[in-house]
Amino acid sequence: MKLNHPLISCDDHLDLNMLPADLWTKGLPEHLRDRAPHIEVIDGRPQWVCEGKSWGGWNGQAGPDTGPKAIFTAFDRGGITDLTERRPAVPELRIADMDRDGVYGHVIYGPVTSINLADTEFRDACYRVYNDWLADYCAYNPNRLIGVPMLPEYPESAVQELYRIAKMGVFKQANLQIAAAETGLHDERWEPLWNALEETGIILSFHVVVFIMPGSKPNPAAGKVAGHMTHAKSFVSQFIDPFVDLFAWAILERHPKLKVVIAESGVGWLPWLVEELDYRHWRIWEGREFWETRGGIPMITKPSELFKRQVYATFQESPTAMSLLKFYGPDNLLWASDYPHPDSIWPNSRATIARQMADLPDETIRKLTFENAAKLYGLNVAAMEAENEQIAAE
């Protein structure tokens, strides 16, 4: 197995607990700063607080419960004990961690949560501040730090922010926390977003989000060991409705230049669902005269063909992904390390790749771990390979 090419991990993170404490207090317009998300110490632990509600913990301040034992992370596995450095959010420290892992590039998702604020101006401004900061952060080394800005989960705001970030000229992809969206993808209010994505060429991603759905039943496993198992349900359940809607409402059919990345939800459930969509598609066409009397048949192309044309999915250490390569083909899967999450494979990415891809041809391995991402994001392959060789030499 040859792994002398640059490795691009297509799902990595800048979590809320690692962001700068003054991100919003410094970045928001002056008339909104007194409401900005900020750090407060509650019960001895620093936390993000906004509008009187805690958004979650923060690791940038020493304290009795802020060390690595407070919650297991990849840094425990890697023997890094000082979380107050906020390594993922400090470009030079992140790149040092990437070098230790033997990974050239990270596709970087922001906080896996929703900025759920009632005030539209305030909410959208918070998204803008994060996205502007992310652009500056990635400018440290844009070849290696591939940021994914966040879109508000409201159609009109999402369109406005997409056009704004497109003008920056630095982003290739934007993330929509679809599980937190105000309305389903069937809503015609989303149509301008699909048009804007095609117009700008920016890729859309759906990433798993960690939050409690409004009106949801209490989770009996919350805070218990059982929660680590039941948490897996959300990795699929969040995506089924929007994924099917991409086909059922002919979104992909009508927008052939739209590219979608399904991130951190596994890949084993997708083939069955695509197969089922193909079957339903065939049954519709079998009775097309009947359906034509009820408003026509919106989708002509088979779902499996649309899927291979426009949808990509990320995977980590997944024997299932390897066994499904015949279904996916070598071009639509994107390898990821998930740095720095507890279930990531950092700092053992190369050993993990070697183990799970041992039976694959070198050409396929190169596609899964480098070329697919480089092609999707329009990256400068020659420049990346040259810099990768220089890093390896050092």
pLDDT of residue 211: 54
**Is 291 a residue whose pLDDT tops 90?**
no
Has residue 117 been placed in a domain? yes
**Does the pLDDT at position 91 exceed 60?**
yes
Q: What is the mean pLDDT of the chain?
A: 90
> Is 327 within the bounds of a domain?
yes
Average of per-residue pLDDT across 351-363:
95
Helices (H), ranges, 43-176? 74-78, 91-101, 120-138, 155-168
Q: How far apart are CA 51 and CA 47, in angstroms?
A: 13
Structural domain span for residue 300:
8-16+88-393
Say if residues 50 and 58 touch (Cβ distance below 8 Å): no
What pLDDT does 287 receive? 60
User: In the chain, how many domains are there?
Assistant: 1
If one compares 335 and 111, the residue with the highest pLDDT of the two is: 335
Burial class (CB in 10 A: 0-12, 13-18, 19+), 301: middle
222 φψ region: left (φ > 0), alpha (ψ -120 to 50), beta (else):
beta
What angle, rounded to 10 degrees, do the helices at 191-200 and 155-168 form?
Answer: 10
pLDDT at 300: 83
pLDDT in tens, 259-271: 999 999 889 999 9
User: Is residue 61, in this structure, part of any structural domain at all?
Assistant: no
Look at residue 64 in the predicted model and tell me its pLDDT.
45
What's residue 212's pLDDT?
Answer: 43
- For the cut 60, the answer to whether the pLDDT of residue 301 exceeds it is yes
Q: Look at residue 8 in the predicted model and tell me its pLDDT.
A: 98
First to last CA, the chain: 22
Residue 342 lies in a domain: yes
What per-residue confidence (pLDDT) applies to 60? 87
Q: Is residue 270 part of a domain?
A: yes
392 vs 231: CA distance, rounded Å: 38
Retrieve residue 46's tokens. Answer: 């620093």
| Band (206; pLDDT cuts 50, 70, 90) | very high
The pair of three-digit structure tokens given for residue 30, joined into one six-digit string: 């002056």
CATH assignment at residue 378:
3.20.20.140
Q: What residue spans of the chain are helical by DSSP H?
A: 23-27, 74-78, 91-101, 120-138, 155-168, 191-200, 227-230, 232-248, 251-254, 269-286, 288-292, 303-310, 319-323, 325-328, 349-356, 362-366, 372-377, 381-393
Q: What is the mean pLDDT of residues 196-221?
A: 77
pLDDT above 90: residue 394: no
**Does any domain span residue 356?**
yes
Q: Is the pLDDT at 70 greater than 60, yes or no?
A: no
Is residue 289 predicted with pLDDT exceeding 70?
A: no
User: Is the pLDDT reported for residue 68 higher than 50?
Assistant: no
79: in domain = no
In the chain, % of residues over pLDDT 90:
71
The token duo for 60 is 């940038």
Least confident range from 61-70, 190-199, 291-300, 333-342: namely: 61-70
Give the model's confidence band at 65: pLDDT under 50 very low, under 70 low, under 90 confident, else very high: very low
Residue 217 located in a structural domain: yes
Is it the case that residue 359 has pLDDT exceeding 70?
A: yes
pLDDT of residue 116: 84
Averaged pLDDT, 133-144: 97
**SS3 of residue 311 by DSSP:** strand
Q: Is the pLDDT of residue 45 over 70?
A: yes
pLDDT for 232 equals 73
